[in-house]
Amino acid sequence: MTSIILLSFALMALGLWGFYLIRLAGLASDAKVGREAFVLAVLLFVGAGLAGGFALMQVWWVQEVRVTQGAVARISTTRMLMQNLLAESMEYRKTHPSIDPILQSLNLLATNAPQPASSGAPAAGSAVPSANR
């Protein structure tokens, strides 16, 4: 991005040189100097247009960054508040177990489902690969 802006300023500098040559062409009646001056003057206007366009784009980008930073700050604050609320709820749960159903309904607390007893023997009906080859 910086190189494009520098290029537009270089085109503007060339254009200013073209205006100087146009002034010289007005003093001297050389057609070649007039054509070169015209090309350089066109480069001035192209460079000025590019510089103005890039300046407007930069202003727009800065505004977008400011809006985005505000949204990120709000999201971070909300996230921190939610984490604090969760931590406080878990602490409150230690002394008041009646809050467990509410925490379970919000998927903040695992339900105490009975775990199947695991023994070394395979379950009935399961296929056991044979070791014979």
For the chain, the three-class secondary structure string (H helix, E strand, C coil) is CHHHHHHHHHHHHHHHHHHHHHHHHHHCCCHHHHHHHHHHHHHHHHHHHHHHHHHHHHHHHHHHHHHHHHHHHHHHHHHHHHHHHHHHHHHHHHHCHHHHHHHHHCCCCCCCCCCCCCCCCCCCCCCCCCCCC
> In the chain, what are the domain boundaries?
2-105
Banded pLDDT at 115 (limits 50, 70, 90): very low
Taking the CA atoms of 123, 126, 130 and 131 in sequence, report the sign of the dihedral they define: negative
Tens digits of per-residue pLDDT, 10-62? 766 766 666 666 665 565 555 565 677 677 777 777 777 777 888 888 888 88
> Does the model's pTM come out above 0.75?
no
- One-letter amino acid for residue 70 of the chain: G
Higher-pLDDT residue of 110, 113 = 110
- Least-confidence region, from 2-16, 53-67, 68-82: 2-16
Contact 20, 28 (CB under 8 A): no
Question: Is 6 a residue whose pLDDT tops 90?
Answer: no
* Res. 82 pLDDT band, cuts 50 70 90: very high
